[in-house]
């Protein structure tokens, strides 16, 4: 070495840096072990299905573009993008029929009505999958909490989450989106290729369904601990709006960015089974309305009302919209929660103060009740019949 060259010493690690790195690494290991141990302990180191296998048929996921056409907007968002549908506003939360629940994407059998129970959460809940290997689980760290996600094995469809506050015999609660499921009644199992599962229901299938267990209360979806986030939180919200002929309203609403799905139907009346023929008379008290499922992270309820609803129809004409006259054409917002009511009242006041409308706004703000889907030929009517009748347009 030349005298002018500095002497190089071996690089040392500062004790504090080494200690911090060691602690961090150990913490990660402990977290991983803790999650794995917790999941194992939650299962009792066993399989909640008891190793039950009734069929070995395999199921595969169709191409995504095919799913965009075959699934509804909510079904696609839930199964493919892990969205969570609104509680108490879905197909199967209160379904008590005996039968099999299969993956809406692939048809893979997932849950049985014999393991279904009323959890009080507003989502279908089950104590276990129908058989071993049909439902896979993984850690879900989204939305600022750690949960166990449930997916279908064959298609990878997002189903919901698993919690350890369920009833016997497993102590588990599979909190599942209705949008992930298709229901097959017992009397159609053989016809649809699920005859292997018929023995689950015995000779008296309806008695077997009635004997399903009831969940203890409280649970982490229905009543979280003070200051704690609910274990199941919807990522989609529902609005129900009326403002004249539902054809024209839906045509505008379905194209708004952030809207996932729209359906037209009847609400706000007294008759149990409204139809277009009866509602059209104006004697049932029902309004033609649109149910809008939207993603509040992309479209707020406030913006839906102020920027769209109060601009797409004339809210100052009582029981009338254009040439359509009658109570079925009234302007109304059917709110699903106290928060929606507060927002609706504020949006109505701002619309009145905007100067856009010279006469008083007569829009009703009432609690949402039963919503009956209109007949299929009324759904997406103007999409099916371009140039059809409508009196709806956006005002400046």
Sole residue written with tokens 């402990």: 30
Catalytic residue chosen out of the listed positions 221, 232, 245, 391: 245
What tokens were used for 309? 């609803």
Q: Which runs of consecutive H residues, i.e. helices, occur in 152-255?
A: 205-210, 246-253
332's CB contacts (< 8 A; 6+ apart) are 241, 242, 243, 268, 287, 289, 363, 364, 365, 366
Distance of alpha carbon 156 from alpha carbon 104, whole angstroms: 11
Are the beta carbons of 315 and 277 closer than 8 angstroms?
A: no
Give yes or no for a contact between 150 and 134, defined as CB atoms under 8 angstroms apart. no
To 5 degrees, how large is the angle CA 342–CA 347–CA 348?
100
Token code pair at residue 391 = 């009196």
**181 φ, ψ to 5°?**
-120, 155
Tokens for 127, please give them. Answer: 């104590």
Our measurement of the distance from residue 162's CA atom to the centroid of its chain's CA atoms, rounded to an integer in Å, reads 16
Distances (CA, A) of 168 to 96, 117, 137: 19, 11, 20
DSSP string, 240-292: EEEES-HHHHHHHHTTSTTEEEEEEEEESSS-SS--HHHHTTT-S--EEEEEE
Burial of 195: CB neighbours in 10 Å, binned 0-12, 13-18, 19+: exposed
* Options 175, 221, 232, 391, the catalytic residue: 175
221 a catalytic residue: no
**Among residues 278, 240, 290, which one has the least CA distance to residue 392?**
290
391 flagged as catalytic: no
Q: Which residues contact 111 (CB under 8 A, 6 or more apart)?
A: 100, 101, 124, 126, 129, 130, 174, 176, 181
Under 8 Å CB-to-CB from 342, ≥6 apart: which residues? none
* Residues labelled as active-site residues: 175, 245
């Amino acid at each position: 070495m030349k005298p002018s060259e500095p002497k190089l010493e071996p690089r040392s690690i500062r004790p504090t840096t080494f200690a911090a790195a060691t602690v961090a690494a150990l913490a990660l290991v402990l977290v991983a072990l803790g999650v794995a141990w917790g999941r194992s302990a939650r299962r009792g180191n066993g399989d909640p299905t008891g190793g039950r296998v009734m069929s070995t048929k395999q199921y595969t996921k169709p191409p995504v573009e095919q799913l965009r056409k075959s699934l509804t907007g909510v079904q696609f968002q839930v199964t493919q993008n892990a969205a969570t549908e609104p509680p108490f506003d879905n197909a199967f939360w209160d379904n008590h029929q005996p039968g099999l629940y299969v993956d809406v994407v692939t048809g893979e059998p997932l849950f049985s009505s014999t393991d279904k129970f009323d959890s009080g959460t507003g989502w279908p809940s089950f104590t276990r999958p129908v058989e071993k290997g049909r439902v896979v689980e993984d850690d879900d760290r989204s939305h600022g909490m750690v949960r166990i996600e449930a997916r279908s094995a064959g298609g990878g469809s997002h189903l919901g989450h698993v919690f350890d506050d369920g009833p016997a015999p497993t102590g588990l609660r599979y909190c599942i989106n209705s949008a992930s499921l298709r229901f097959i009644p017992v009397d159609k199992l053989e016809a649809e290729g699920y005859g292997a599962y018929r023995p689950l229901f015995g000779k008296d299938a309806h008695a077997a369904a009635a004997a399903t267990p009831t969940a203890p209360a409280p649970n982490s979806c229905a009543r979280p601990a003070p200051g704690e986030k609910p274990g199941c939180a919807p990522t989609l919200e529902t609005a129900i709006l009326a403002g004249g002929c539902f054809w024209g309203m839906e045509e505008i609403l379905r194209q708004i960015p952030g809207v996932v799905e729209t359906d037209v139907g009847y609400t706000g009346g007294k008759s149990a089974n409204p139809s277009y023929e009866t509602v059209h008379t104006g004697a049932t008290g029902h309004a033609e309305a649109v149910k809008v499922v939207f993603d509040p992270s992309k479209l707020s309820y406030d913006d839906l009302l102020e920027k769209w609803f109060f601009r797409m129809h004339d809210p100052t004409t009582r029981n009338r919209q254009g040439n359509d006259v009658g109570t079925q054409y009234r302007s109304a917002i059917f709110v699903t929660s106290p928060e929606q009511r507060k927002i609706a009242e504020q949006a109505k006041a701002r619309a009145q103060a905007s100067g856009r409308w010279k006469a008083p706004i007569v829009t009703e703000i009432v609690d949402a009740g039963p919503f009956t889907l209109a007949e299929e030929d009324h759904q997406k009517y103007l999409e099916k019949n371009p140039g059809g009748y409508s009196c709806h347009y956006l005002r400046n």
